[in-house]
């Protein structure tokens, strides 16, 4: 079951934007993160939730999508995420955040996937601008943005080809392909 969920949990970048996600659902996803592991159990992460169009558009303006799809500027209106969770690191609790935000992000996305939603972790963020437009607390550092919505695109995993190219690509039908290295390649001892 867990593995099925992990396989289903692909990065998705086009959504049915008019599908509404409410704040209680987002709180429940963050609860999955809250219950996850944290280095030294410091729990330095804080969260900003967004599921209204005004706040969503402020966030959307400050993130970048799919660097390998050079000709694609990101999801058009109507296909943008219905919600976001911004993961912040609170420097008053710890100066560094280790891999806590990666673990939290995966927990959030697995929670969303289980509910038939999908999403994408986003690290390409105009951090200063986002901090300013959302008036985020100064002691908090933006670590990751998670876009969430009802998936409108098909994403498939495939083995990395003979040339070793790991870049994801989109075919003429709009299907998004994600090459994954084999188990034998990554287990080296
Ligand atoms: C830490 C991290 C940062 C990422 N940042 C971005 C990003 O800024 N924009 C984006 O479109 N995708 C981003 N992604 C999604 C990756 O491109 C995606 O995980 C990768 O292509 C593999 O696809 P998969 O998640 O379906 O396995 C990020 C993923 C991770 C783990």
pTM score over 0.85: yes
Residue 138: the pLDDT is 96
User: d(Cα 43, Cα 31) in Å, to the nearest integer?
Assistant: 13
How far is C-alpha 57 from the chain's CA centre?
16
| Distances, alpha carbon 119 to alpha carbons 37, 70, 86, 90, 185, in Å | 21, 20, 13, 24, 27
The 10s digit of each residue's pLDDT in 128-157 is: 999 999 999 999 999 999 999 999 999 999
Nearest-CA residue for ligand 1 atom 6 is 122
Mutate to test the pocket of ligand 1, among 64, 110, 120, 176 (most ligand atoms within 8 A of CB): 120
């Amino acid at each position: 079951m867990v593995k099925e969920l992990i396989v289903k949990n692909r990065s998705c970048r086009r959504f049915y934007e008019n599908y509404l996600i409410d704040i209680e659902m987002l709180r429940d996803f963050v609860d999955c993160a809250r219950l996850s592991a944290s280095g030294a159990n410091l729990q330095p992460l804080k969260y900003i939730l967004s599921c209204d169009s005004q706040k969503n558009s402020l966030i959307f303006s400050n993130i970048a999508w799919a660097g390998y799809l050079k000709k694609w500027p990101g999801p058009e209106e109507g296909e943008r995420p219905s919600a976001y969770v911004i993961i912040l690191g609170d420097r008053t609790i710890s100066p560094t955040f280790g891999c806590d935000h990666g673990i939290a992000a995966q927990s959030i996305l697995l929670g969303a996937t289980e509910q038939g939603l999908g999403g994408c972790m986003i690290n390409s963020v105009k951090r200063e601008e986002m901090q300013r437009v959302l008036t985020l607390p100064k002691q908090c550092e933006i670590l990751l943005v998670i876009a969430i919505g009802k998936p409108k695109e098909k994403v498939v995993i495939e083995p990395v080809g003979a040339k070793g190219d790991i870049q994801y690509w989109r075919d003429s039908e709009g299907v998004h392909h994600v090459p994954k290295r084999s188990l034998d390649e990554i287990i080296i001892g």
